[in-house]
Chain A
């Protein structure tokens, strides 16, 4: 059955044949609450894939359905082409790194890491060898005899990772694996996690609410909201051309301006903003109807003279802040929007900020804006 599924996949979708983990129409309801809503997802083999979203968006439930801890209300879960929807966790070739680590408190590091291999009846010799290997990979050599309560948070996290990795599963499922650590350690372990994933070449599915973490680690990110995938793509795609207002606001800061399409040529489409200014955006993004034009704060420049070939809005500086590495402004346009501008601190001590109250021009290049449909604001 797995074989027919693969051959039946049309050639035009090479990603699907390469996919290690496939969810088809997966829905999970808890009583009246729909946690995951008719989700289709395919995760390519060997990729570092992130499920990113705010708490309650269904990302952890999705991961738990791949791991076998939750049964989907509807839909199918496939691992390597095999339907595993009805298989319990211990019959699935994936391992999980739990948010709380869930290390066995009565076993030392060695026995914790060896747990999976022992259940699979490997020889004592093979177990010892593979545990030693993975402890070296995760820089835990010498900790074999420690109990979990004798380890720091970062070390516990590494043991959890080693305990899953040592089984060489088809895929590793990571549920906010760095969520319990402080910022500094988190950044350090992010780099390490990426290194390990590159070394072992396993598929990693990483659940996180930290957009920076997802962007640092993942080859591909799926942004989730209310049980659905809003948009999926590389960090660059999601940041530069978000397709929904939710994605534009969840990943980084966005300035969104209400606008209406008025014309298009092969390169650029022209929009009229709600306060009457005319701006251009790439033609391939053109959308009819009520839209919002978005531009990232660092793409905006504050000028005092009219530039050539750029989108321009007038405004007055409301707030100017010196942040060391950058200067941050809030500029109010005549239409009432407050736009954020972030400028690199290139001028140094001679520059300083443009003071509040000044009338300025906000300019940005016409290839920079993105277009999203106007939505009524999400509550919260």
Chain B
């Protein structure tokens, strides 16, 4: 009797540490920020709770530009990361042979240096009189007075670079799991190499594509480091606004409201994306 009860309870007991963590470090701070977002006042006189929903509408009308820019930059960087990562992951999974682990390590190696340091390094690489800009001017891809640093290109390139492993690794895992004999079976059944890829490899890689794009897109939308270091205020994203509201302007209600709006926008994006890709099919394909 006692054993049976213990067995029934075990799954719930296993959830306790994770749930406790989420309650303390996620749910409670979120509720607190929700409370803050509805306050009014300023840093000197203090903030009081007012049900101030106008903070939300003001935030949207004032920072719609940064919101849309964030989505645009993140989407572009996600697509770029996918285009770069897929062939890379495919090569590592199917063709690399004994170099596979080495290549995987090389993908992860940048994580050994801090995110900030890597982005600052890019600042040096892209700076006006450095090697890259000079060579681009030599071949005429950049005007004589053209810049690489402090441009949209630089920010998107930075985001793409920084989040590439989050795209490459899930893609690799999904591709590596595919049984090679399935591709043989497809070619046996009159599929050319392209058709075998299109009909078998790609559908079976969908869970990895789904995971990789979300893992790239979601943090990229909220990113502020790349725009700050590689861009100017004309490239500022919603993350820069939130960061400055919290730490510079100390307008806590506005910062909290912007954070919630960002979260809502992301949830909406993910929901639509999952519907389009067919999340149910994904789960079945993953089995």
On A, residues with C-beta under 8 Å from B are 67-69, 88-90, 95-96, 98, 100, 102-106, 115-116, 119-120, 147, 149, 163-164, 167
CB within 8 Å of A: which B178-208 residues: 179, 181-182, 184-193, 195, 199-200, 203-204
Interface of B is mostly: helix
Contact of B284 among A69, A88, A106, A115 (CB under 8 A): A106
> What's the Cα separation between A69 and B187 when bound, in Å?
9
Q: Mark B224-250, 1 if CB is under 8 A from A, else 0.
A: 000000000000000000000000000
Contact of B187 among A89, A103, A104 (CB under 8 A): A89
Asked if residues A167 and B184 are in contact (CB atoms below 8 Å), the reply is no
Asked if residues A102 and B184 are in contact (CB atoms below 8 Å), the reply is yes
> What's the Cα separation between A119 and B188 when bound, in Å?
11
Contact of B185 among A102, A106, A120 (CB under 8 A): A102
Asked if residues B189 and A106 are in contact (CB atoms below 8 Å), the reply is no
Asked if residues B190 and A96 are in contact (CB atoms below 8 Å), the reply is no
Interface status of B285 (Cβ within 8 A of chain A): yes
Q: Mark B270-287, 1 if CB is under 8 A from A, else 0.
A: 000000000001001101
Apart from A115-B189, A119-B190, what 9 extra A-B contacts exist at CB < 8 Å? A96-B185, A98-B184, A102-B181, A102-B182, A104-B186, A105-B204, A147-B287, A164-B188, A167-B190
Q: B residues within 8 A CB of A68?
A: 187-188
Q: B residues within 8 A CB of A119?
A: 189-191, 195
On B, residues with C-beta under 8 Å from A are 179, 181-182, 184-193, 195, 199-200, 203-204, 281, 284-285, 287
- A65 CB to nearest chain B CB (Å): 13
Asked if residues A147 and B192 are in contact (CB atoms below 8 Å), the reply is no
> What's the Cα separation between A374 and B185 when bound, in Å?
44
Report 5 cross-chain contacts, Cβ distance below 8 Å, ordered by A residue: A90-B189, A90-B190, A104-B182, A149-B287, A164-B189
Q: A residues within 8 A CB of B179?
A: 100, 102
Asked if residues B188 and A89 are in contact (CB atoms below 8 Å), the reply is yes
Q: B residues within 8 A CB of A102?
A: 179, 181-182, 184-185
> What's the Cα separation between A149 and B287 when bound, in Å?
8
> What's the Cα separation between A100 and B180 when bound, in Å?
11
Asked if residues A104 and B200 are in contact (CB atoms below 8 Å), the reply is yes
- B164 CB to nearest chain A CB (Å): 27
Asked if residues A147 and B181 are in contact (CB atoms below 8 Å), the reply is no
> What's the Cα separation between A119 and B186 when bound, in Å?
10
> What's the Cα separation between A120 and B195 when bound, in Å?
12
Asked if residues A90 and B287 are in contact (CB atoms below 8 Å), the reply is no
Q: B residues within 8 A CB of A100?
A: 179, 181
> What's the Cα separation between A147 and B284 when bound, in Å?
9
**A91 to B, closest residue via Cβ:** B190
- B3 CB to nearest chain A CB (Å): 32
Asked if residues B187 and A88 are in contact (CB atoms below 8 Å), the reply is yes
Point out which of B182, B187, B190 has the most chain A C-beta atoms below 10 A from its C-beta: B190
Q: A residues within 8 A CB of B195?
A: 119
**B200 to A, closest residue via Cβ:** A104
Asked if residues B188 and A105 are in contact (CB atoms below 8 Å), the reply is no
Knowing A116-B190, A119-B191, A119-B195 touch, does A105 contact B287 (C-beta < 8 A)? yes
Knowing A105-B285, A149-B287 touch, does A90 contact B204 (C-beta < 8 A)? no
- B33 CB to nearest chain A CB (Å): 42
> What's the Cα separation between A103 and B192 when bound, in Å?
18
Q: B residues within 8 A CB of A103?
A: 185
Q: B residues within 8 A CB of A104?
A: 182, 185-186, 200
Q: A residues within 8 A CB of B190?
A: 90, 116, 119-120, 167
Q: Which 9 A-B pairs have the closest CB atoms?
A: A116-B189, A102-B185, A119-B190, A106-B285, A102-B181, A89-B187, A106-B203, A96-B188, A90-B190
> What's the Cα separation between A104 and B204 when bound, in Å?
9
> What's the Cα separation between A192 and B204 when bound, in Å?
32
**B204 to A, closest residue via Cβ:** A106
- B176 CB to nearest chain A CB (Å): 15
Q: A residues within 8 A CB of B284?
A: 106, 147
Q: A residues within 8 A CB of B192?
A: 90
> What's the Cα separation between A278 and B182 when bound, in Å?
60
> What's the Cα separation between A367 and B40 when bound, in Å?
110
Asked if residues A90 and B285 are in contact (CB atoms below 8 Å), the reply is no
Q: A residues within 8 A CB of B204?
A: 105-106
Knowing A104-B200, A105-B287, A147-B284 touch, does A90 contact B187 (C-beta < 8 A)? yes
Asked if residues A95 and B187 are in contact (CB atoms below 8 Å), the reply is no
> What's the Cα separation between A164 and B195 when bound, in Å?
18
- A30 CB to nearest chain B CB (Å): 15
Contact of B191 among A69, A90, A163 (CB under 8 A): A90
- B156 CB to nearest chain A CB (Å): 33
Asked if residues B181 and A163 are in contact (CB atoms below 8 Å), the reply is no
Q: A residues within 8 A CB of B181?
A: 98, 100, 102
**B191 to A, closest residue via Cβ:** A119
> What's the Cα separation between A98 and B199 when bound, in Å?
19
- B280 CB to nearest chain A CB (Å): 12
Asked if residues B185 and A98 are in contact (CB atoms below 8 Å), the reply is yes
- B54 CB to nearest chain A CB (Å): 50
Asked if residues B200 and A90 are in contact (CB atoms below 8 Å), the reply is no
> What's the Cα separation between A163 and B182 when bound, in Å?
13
> What's the Cα separation between A88 and B192 when bound, in Å?
9
Q: B residues within 8 A CB of A105?
A: 182, 204, 285, 287
